[in-house]
Chain A
Amino acid sequence: MTAANRPPTADSAGIAVLRILRDALDAPPEERDAFIAGCCGGDTTLQARVHALLGRTRDADEDEADEGPAASDVADSMIGARIGAWRIVERIGRGGMGVVYRGAREGTDFAHDVAIKLIRRGFDFDDIRLRFLRERRILARLSHPNLARFIDGGVAPDGRPWFALEFVRGAPITRWCDARRLAVRARVRLFLDVCAAVQYAHAQLVVHRDLKPANVLVEDDGRIRLLDFGIARLVGGDDDEDAPATTMGQRYALTPEYAAPEQFSGETAGVATDVYALGAILYELVSGTLPIAVERGDLLAAAHAVCTTTPAPLAGAIQRPGLAGAPTPAERLAARVTSASAYRNDVRGDLARILDKALAKEPARRYATVDAFADDLARWLDGAPVRVSGNAFGYRLRKFIGRNRVAVAFALLAALAIVLGMAATIWQAREARIQRDEAVAEAKRSDGMRQYLMLMFRDAAAQKDATRVDVRGVFRSGAERLFDVFKDQPETGQNTALMLSDLYLQLGDVEGATPLLERLLAWPGLEANPKVQASARYNLAQIELARGHAARARELLDQAQAYWSAQPGASALLNESRSTQAKIERAEGRFDQAIATLRDAIAERRAMLGKDDFEIGNLYNTLSNALIQLGRYEEAEASANDSYAIFEHLGQAESDGGMAALNSRGNAALMMGRNERSLEDYRRVTATTRALYGETTKLAASLNNLGVTLNRLGRGDEAVAPTEEALRITLAQSGERSPLAVTVRTSLAEIYVNTGRVADADTMAQAALDVAEADYASSKTLLGGACRARARVRLAQGRIADARADLERATDLFVAAGKGGEGYIRLMEPLRDEIEGR
């Protein structure tokens, strides 16, 4: 459209307002009133309209009034909306495809803020949703005292999935240390906690990519809390006060002061990137200055400086003049309660060398893992010799990749070669190490290698720009072509196929792994490579078990374990295979054997590591559940106690693992008739879940358990309140058609029957049954439970024939559920007797 055909309704007075307003802005501020009066020629209405607008244009004269595209005049309609149990208060970050808000708990005095992440509106496509959900799964898995806790997840009213993380209040580590005048050694000691948290996340295959003091907070009690783990990958965080705009199409934030050289050239961030950022943070903690002075706001200059300038020597850094407003050298020394010469003596030598290595320009020359970096720092604290130069393996490996990376640009085959070549190199290095070191350390290392491999693949995955090849496609075609490509190098080919199958299993891609493993196991002459054969059999055993082929799984597992048992260096692999063994034994109905296997595995692992780890805590809880299934409640209670004690010892009592242990203990106690004891545990689970996560579906589930227990104890009156709360939370957060809603309504129906509210019970049972029949017919125990609840209602109504019909239906369903249904049938006995007696 042009002016010529604009609508005839144009407001000519409005146009005059605009003309006068614009011209008035060109006049000096103090002359504008007079200017406007002159233009309006006595038209007071017009003059008033111009003045009204002028009053809102103060920013027209501000030189820095450059608010950018994210200007505050963009309202966000999510503010004030309700998601799960939270009311959205403000937006705290946005970028890429995600957006992060601060949420406050709705309707209670309970101060509980969370950071809520959603897919941005307009980005809710299937593949993005899948990535988001995967991210959510990864974060939900991260459970570490120094990471912001995953609290809840769900689906917003508009259909977008969301999750909530704990909202952390604390001071950036640099400021916290300065405020408390921590000496250099105390700073390094505190920093080790940061390393442990980052290493933990790396072990879960999560790379941070944007570590900086603003993301490393310290709470008042000195506890380190890392923010934005995993979020950095998906969400740019453009609105973060410390992050300038992202650049060159990168979808994640880049903070020039702490970004590694490779991030500026758009290469993929991996473990080495986090190592660099940690190095930069430690450098700043120690010296009070940045390793490399960068110019904010000029990314090109910053990139040049970071890629070409060597960090200033640490010993002299504290004397370097800071920017305007930054602490002076004297203030920095005071904040570290030291003198210039004492400081120099402290940091010169080993600490400087450690930092040089962490801050190396080439990713390959940095510490290969955060653990290695932390290890050297701990040695420095202890005065032991550091291992700065002991990383030939990582260096060679990365060199190899670096050399091959160039080839990637050309074709799919080249891309395939690098992926395969990388796997082969890692494999060889792994073999060399296994031979060199004794079995004690193997558990840790083999795990580390696997993580390392996964991260390398992730890095390779992001090489897509050069190749335009989907890496999943690369893997898939890799799997297909691998057998051709390596016809003449069977050993490398076999090793690589195994690595790829590990990778598939890690990605949960059973369809990809199965044909690969079957072809690998059919490779002519595989017997010559028994290590690979054993691992391949083990991988396939896990898949077969998951598919319900217990006999085949057993056969494969036996073969693998027979080989490992004969190999001196394979004790860790053997130990890790025990929980699969126990699963197979349970599937075979050999419950006693499964329990013995779990006990042995615990003892073995403990002897190997010399201490308890998270995995042993989980093993004990699995053992406890298996014992309950067998009716061996005393032992089950003891195992649950052991499990809980381990989580407590690891500082993770208040975690999902710790709560699972308490819940098992409660179950065992209930079965033994120690009702008070059981109630106590359930109450604690409920209280802790409430304190940790607030009003969430997790809480609803534990409130439901509490109510069911009280009801079974004949204390139906007390059961009403927690179960009704469970229902309220469930309906608000999961909706009426969720499986949890069916469960809670079933519980409530049975409680109402016991408290004489038969009509309410009828409504409740009917609602549970309707949803279960329509949506969850395949879930036998869920549907069976709803039938049982209605049978109780019918009995109370005196409709005995109907009650009997419902009972029979419930029984059939529980029988069809197999082993898992037996307990339900047992618990229904009194009900059956009562119905039969009528």
Chain B
Amino acid sequence: MAGESERVTELLHRWSGGDADALDRLLPSVYADLRRIAASALRAGPAQATLQTTALAHEVMLRLLGRAPGDFRDTAHFLNASARMMRQILIDRSRRAHAGKRGGTWLRDDFAEALELPIPDGTDLAALDRALDELESVNERMARGVELRYFVGLDVAEVAAALGITSRTARRDWAAAREWLRDRLDALP
């Protein structure tokens, strides 16, 4: 029954004290909540009473990811940055985990599962990373949408709000990108 929040506080201390494993435990604990808070703030519009929780979410996230305060203009910016950071974290992690293993692929691991991210099971993260780079070269907006979905866990309407586009556009972006990615990742040796 030890409370969630003092556990988080303790982990933050451990992590800032140089205990790298603490981050593995922190992110699953707080990430889902943080993005839910941010996403609901986003949907509710700017002037809602949730401003304070959103600010708190930003603060925690910043501390987790080692960014300087004031880096984010608004919630949409926060979510976009979170998506990028989380993508980087997951790819780095799986690279580290498989460093030295010859011929190993970097699969979506337990950590991604713990984060409740809707990345399909068994996705080769390194291949996904490369495919997203390619996607970005064709259509940056589509790549951002996939990132928000896979690495933050937003749904279509939330992606639309975060990118400032209509739901219809977000939905078409997503459908096209999803099928193209699936094809691309399946085609790998």
| Known contacts A131-B1, A249-B36, A468-B6; is-contact A66 B176 (Cβ 8 Å) | no
B155 contacts A69, CB within 8 Å?
yes
Interface of A is mostly: loop
Cα separation A75 to B133 with both chains bound (whole Å): 24
Bitwise interface map of A from 461 to 473 toward B, beta carbon under 8 Å scored 1, else 0: 1101100111110
Using Cβ atoms and an 8 Å threshold, which residues of chain A touch B112? 122
| Known contacts A22-B139, A469-B6; is-contact A1 B133 (Cβ 8 Å) | yes
Q: Within the complex, what minimum Cβ distance (angstroms) separates B34 from chain A?
A: 8
Q: Within the complex, what minimum Cβ distance (angstroms) separates B81 from chain A?
A: 16
CB-nearest residue of chain B to A74:
B118
A25 contacts B176, CB within 8 Å?
yes
| Known contacts A14-B180, A56-B179, A122-B114; is-contact A66 B155 (Cβ 8 Å) | yes
Among A57-65, A621-629, A682-690, A727-735, which stretch is in contact with chain B?
A57-65
Among B63-71, B72-80, B167-175, which stretch is in contact with chain A?
B167-175
Cα separation A458 to B1 with both chains bound (whole Å): 8
B183 contacts A53, CB within 8 Å?
yes
Selected from B9, B114, B120, B130, the residue in CB contact (under 8 A) with A468 is B9
A77 contacts B36, CB within 8 Å?
no
Interface residues of A in 450-487 (CB under 8 A from B): 458, 461-462, 464-465, 468-472
Selected from B113, B134, B139, B182, the residue in CB contact (under 8 A) with A10 is B134
Bitwise interface map of B from 15 to 33 toward A, beta carbon under 8 Å scored 1, else 0: 0000000000100100001
Q: Within the complex, what minimum Cβ distance (angstroms) separates B42 from chain A?
A: 14
Using Cβ atoms and an 8 Å threshold, which residues of chain B touch A470? 2-3, 6
Interface residues of B in 146-163 (CB under 8 A from A): 149, 153-157
Indicate if B100 sits at the interface (CB-CB under 8 A).
no
Using Cβ atoms and an 8 Å threshold, which residues of chain A touch B47? none
Interface of B is mostly: helix
| Known contacts A15-B134, A75-B122; is-contact A122 B183 (Cβ 8 Å) | no
CB-nearest residue of chain A to B142:
A22
Q: Which of B157, B173, B176 has the most CB of A within 10 A?
A: B176
A22 contacts B173, CB within 8 Å?
yes
Using Cβ atoms and an 8 Å threshold, which residues of chain B touch A21? 176, 179-180
Indicate if A121 sits at the interface (CB-CB under 8 A).
yes
Indicate if A6 sits at the interface (CB-CB under 8 A).
yes
CB-nearest residue of chain B to A56:
B179
A122 contacts B110, CB within 8 Å?
yes
- The interface on chain B, measured as residues whose beta carbon lies within 8 A of the other chain's beta carbons, has a size of 60
A18 contacts B180, CB within 8 Å?
yes
Using Cβ atoms and an 8 Å threshold, which residues of chain A touch B6? 464, 468-470
Q: Within the complex, what minimum Cβ distance (angstroms) separates A457 from chain B?
A: 9
B122 contacts A77, CB within 8 Å?
yes
| Known contacts A60-B171, A74-B120, A470-B3; is-contact A17 B180 (Cβ 8 Å) | yes
B3 contacts A14, CB within 8 Å?
no
Using Cβ atoms and an 8 Å threshold, which residues of chain A touch B114? 120-123
Using Cβ atoms and an 8 Å threshold, which residues of chain A touch B36? 245-247, 249
Indicate if B124 sits at the interface (CB-CB under 8 A).
no
Interface size, A (range): 35 or more
B137 contacts A122, CB within 8 Å?
no
CB-nearest residue of chain B to A76:
B121
Indicate if B37 sits at the interface (CB-CB under 8 A).
yes
B133 contacts A73, CB within 8 Å?
no
Indicate if B184 sits at the interface (CB-CB under 8 A).
yes
CB-nearest residue of chain B to A57:
B175
| Known contacts A22-B172, A60-B172, A249-B33; is-contact A7 B130 (Cβ 8 Å) | yes
Interface residues of B in 108-148 (CB under 8 A from A): 110-122, 129-130, 133-139, 142
Q: Within the complex, what minimum Cβ distance (angstroms) separates B155 from chain A?
A: 4
Indicate if A677 sits at the interface (CB-CB under 8 A).
no
Using Cβ atoms and an 8 Å threshold, which residues of chain A touch B121? 74-77
Cα separation A246 to B40 with both chains bound (whole Å): 11
B171 contacts A59, CB within 8 Å?
yes
A73 contacts B118, CB within 8 Å?
yes
| Known contacts A1-B133, A2-B133, A60-B171; is-contact A464 B176 (Cβ 8 Å) | no
Selected from B2, B138, B177, the residue in CB contact (under 8 A) with A15 is B138
Since A11-B184, A127-B7 are in contact, a sample of 17 more A-B pairs with Cβ atoms closer than 8 Å, ordered by chain A residue number, is A3-B136, A18-B138, A18-B139, A21-B180, A25-B175, A56-B182, A59-B171, A59-B175, A60-B171, A60-B175, A62-B171, A69-B118, A75-B121, A77-B121, A122-B115, A465-B5, A471-B1
- 15 of the cross-chain contacts (CB-CB < 8 Å) are A1-B129, A3-B136, A6-B130, A7-B133, A17-B180, A18-B139, A18-B176, A22-B139, A70-B118, A74-B118, A74-B119, A76-B121, A245-B36, A462-B1, A471-B2
Give the A-binding residues of B (Cβ under 8 A): 1-7, 9, 25, 28, 33, 36-37, 40, 44, 48, 53, 110-122, 129-130, 133-139, 142, 149, 153-157, 167, 171-180, 182-184
Give the B-binding residues of A (Cβ under 8 A): 1-3, 6-7, 10-11, 14-15, 17-19, 21-22, 25-26, 49, 52-53, 56-57, 59-60, 62, 65-71, 73-77, 120-123, 125, 127, 131, 245-249, 251, 300, 458, 461-462, 464-465, 468-472
Closest 6 CB pairs of A and B: A122-B114, A464-B3, A3-B137, A60-B175, A57-B175, A249-B33
